[in-house]
Chain A
Amino acid sequence: MYRTFGQAGAVLVVNAIANTGVNIYNAKKTAGLQQGFQKKLDTDEAQMDYIKNMVLRFRSIGQRIAKGGRYQPGTGPFEDFLKKGLVSEMSYRGNCNADIFVPPGPGDSPTKVRNIWATVLRSGLLKQPSTITPEVGLIWGSGCKSAEDTFRIDYFNQIKGSRKFDVLKTVETDLGTMDLFLRFGTALFLAVIMILVTKTQSSLIGEQKDIYKRKKPVKKTGSSH
Chain B
Amino acid sequence: MPAMIDTLSNGPVSASSVGGATGMMIGSIVPGLGTAVGWLVGTAIGAVADTVFGARKAQQQRKQMKTAFWAAIAKRYNLQAFTSCIEQMGEAMMYAQALGFKPGTPPFDEILKKKLSTGNCIYKGNCNIELYTPGPTGPQRLAKIENGVLTPYSPNIDLDLGKKWQQACKQLHLEALKAWALELKENYEFKDSLKKETDAAKRNAATRILVNLGLSLFMLGYILKQKKKLTKIRSFKKAVKAQIASPVRTTN
Q: Which residues of A contact B (CB under 8 A)?
A: 1, 4-5, 8-9, 11-12, 15-16, 18-19, 22-23, 26, 29-30, 33-34, 37, 40, 121, 123-125, 128, 134-135, 137-139, 141-143, 145-146, 149-150, 152-153, 156-157, 164, 167-168, 171-172, 175, 178-179, 182-183, 186, 189-190, 193-194, 196-197, 200-201, 203-204, 207-208, 210-211
Contact = CB atoms under 8 A, between A and B. Distances in A.
Given A5-B40, A19-B54, A203 B230 contact: yes
B62 A178 contact: no
A38 to B, nearest CB: 10
A139 B80 contact: yes
B164 interface: no
Contact of A157 (B33, B98, B222): B98
Nearest first, the 7 closest Cβ-Cβ pairs linking A and B are: A142-B84, A11-B44, A8-B40, A26-B58, A149-B91, A146-B91, A124-B134
Contact of B76 (A4, A30, A135, A196): A135
A170 to B, nearest CB: 10
Contacts of B47: 11-12, 15-16, 19
A200 to B, nearest CB: 5
* Majority-rule SS of B interface residues: helix
Contacts of B158: none
Contact of B209 (A30, A34, A186): A186
Contacts of A196: 219, 223
Contacts of B135: 125
A194 B48 CA distance: 131
A1 to B, nearest CB: 6
B216 A193 contact: yes
Interface of B: 32-34, 36-37, 40-41, 43-45, 47-48, 50-51, 54-55, 58, 61-62, 65-66, 69, 73, 76-77, 80-81, 83-85, 87-88, 90-92, 94-95, 98-99, 119-121, 133-136, 139, 190, 194, 197-198, 201, 204-205, 208-209, 212, 215-216, 219-220, 222-223, 226-227, 229-230, 233-234, 236-237
Contacts of A207: 230, 233-234, 237
Contacts of B208: 182-183, 186
A145 B90 CA distance: 11
A33 to B, nearest CB: 6
Contacts of B121: 142
A23 B220 CA distance: 122
A158 B37 CA distance: 96
A26 B55 contact: yes
28 contacts: A1-B37, A8-B43, A11-B47, A12-B43, A19-B50, A19-B51, A22-B51, A33-B62, A33-B65, A124-B134, A125-B134, A138-B84, A139-B80, A139-B84, A141-B120, A142-B121, A143-B87, A145-B119, A175-B197, A179-B201, A179-B205, A186-B209, A193-B219, A193-B220, A197-B219, A197-B223, A200-B230, A204-B229
